[in-house]
Chain A
C-alpha cells in the first residue's frame, strides 16, 4: 500500500512530503478550567474513526490544508454530516 495525501493544489502526494498537524479537542464534559488546561496539553481523544486534521504540504505548495481521515483504515473521507 502506498500512503498518499490528497492536496487540493498539487494532487495526491506521498506522505513523506507532509507535516501532520493535529487539531486538539477538549470534550465539553470537562468544565473545570484547570482540568481543561491539563486535557488540552496532554490528553488525546485519539479518535477511532473520522477525524479532522491539518496537514502542511512542506515539500510541495507549502500550504496548510484541512482533511478528514478514517483512522481505522487511513482512507480520506468527506466531512461527515
Chain B
C-alpha cells in the first residue's frame, strides 16, 4: 500500500468569479459529488463549490466511513445499493485510490425486538437487491472469533445478519478525488469562503453573499451538513432537520487483522479496523440537539464499555483520539434531496449519521435533477414535500448508527 497517497493528488483552489450556472454551498462529499457529476455527466462546468472552512472539514472528513446497503425500506435499499456499486467503480473512474476495502459487515441482535428488526431487514434486502444473510450464533463465532457471544454473560447475542458487501474507504481521499475530478473539468472550488446570505429576486434565489462579495447563480444548492437550517433560513425554507453531535474515537493498533465491521443495533455501537490497524468506534448521536463539536467523557466511557462487552480484547487497547461531527438528522432517518418550494434553491440534507456511503449516488441524483429539472426515480421518494404529504420513509432501525 502507498504510505503517502496524498502526494499524488493536486488540488489548486480558485477565487470565486462574479457569476456561475450553479453555486454549491458546502465542500463536503455531497457538494463535491454534485459538482463532479454535473461536470462529468451533464457537461455543466460553470459551477462553483464554496466552503466556510477547509474542503472536507465537515462530516465528510470526520466519519467512520462505513459503506453498506442493508437498509430497512425498499427506497433506501435501492438507493444505497446503487451508491455502493458506484463507490466500487469510483477509484477506476477518477484514477485515484480511495483505499476502498470490502471487509463485510456483521450485525448482531440481542433482544426480541432486535431479532424482529434483523429478520425484516434481511427479507427487504433480499427482495430489493442487497445480499443480507441471516446468521446463527455459531456462524457469528466463525465469522468473527474475537466476539464474546455471551457478551460478558449479561446480554448474549441471539442472532446476526451478515452483509458481505460492507466496505470502508478513506474519507479524505473520496473528497479530494471528487474535488480534483470536478476541477479538471473546469469546476471552481473555493475554501474559506462562507455564505452569509442569499440573494432574492422576485421570489427566486439568484445568488449568494460572501464576505468576499456577491456571486450570482442560476441555481443555488445547499449541501452544508449540520448547518442545513442556517442556510434554509436565509432562503425562507423550513426544514425538518435537527442538528445533533455524533462522536467517534480510535484506539492504538490491534496487532491482528480484524475483518468484518461489527455492529450491534441493541447496544447502539459499531467498530471496524482502519488501514493502520487501529480500532475505530462509533455510536448513536448525542441526545441534545447542538451545534457544538465538543467531545464528552460520557460517550467515551459508555462506548468503551459497550465495545469491551462484545470484544473483550479491546480492554487492552488505548484511546488515541476522539472527535465529533454535526449531523443533520431528519425525523424519519432518511435523506432529503431536491426542490424546496423556493425557485433556484435546492437542498441535499438529512444525511445524519449515514450519508458518507451515499456520496456517489447522492451527487449523481442531484446533478441529474439540476440538469434536467426532474428528480430521478432513485431520489424522487426523498423529496422535502414528503412530510406535508405524510409520505415519510421511516428507517431508524437501519440508520441509527453509521
Contacts and interface: CB of A to CB of B under 8 A. Distances in A.
Main secondary structure of the interface of A (DSSP, over half): loop
B229 A15 contact: no
Contact of A1 (B229, B290, B297, B331): B297
B291 interface: yes
Chain B interface size, under 10 / 10 to 19 / 20 to 34 / 35 or more: 20 to 34
Interface in B277-303: 286-292, 294-298, 302
A64 B97 CA distance: 53
A77 B218 CA distance: 42
Nearest to A69: B288
Interface stretch (B14-22, B67-75, B107-115, B239-247): B239-247
Interface string A35-62: 1001101111110100101000000000
A51 B290 CA distance: 10
B382 to A, nearest CB: 14
B230 to A, nearest CB: 6
Contacts of A35: 388
A30 B331 CA distance: 20
Contact of A72 (B292, B298, B388): B292
A39 B289 CA distance: 18
B256 interface: no
A66 interface: no
Nearest to B299: A3
Given A1-B296, A2-B298, A46-B243, A15 B287 contact: yes
26 contacts: A1-B295, A1-B297, A2-B298, A3-B288, A3-B294, A3-B296, A3-B298, A15-B286, A15-B288, A15-B298, A16-B302, A27-B238, A35-B388, A41-B387, A43-B238, A43-B240, A44-B239, A44-B240, A46-B239, A46-B241, A46-B242, A48-B229, A51-B289, A71-B290, A74-B288, A74-B290
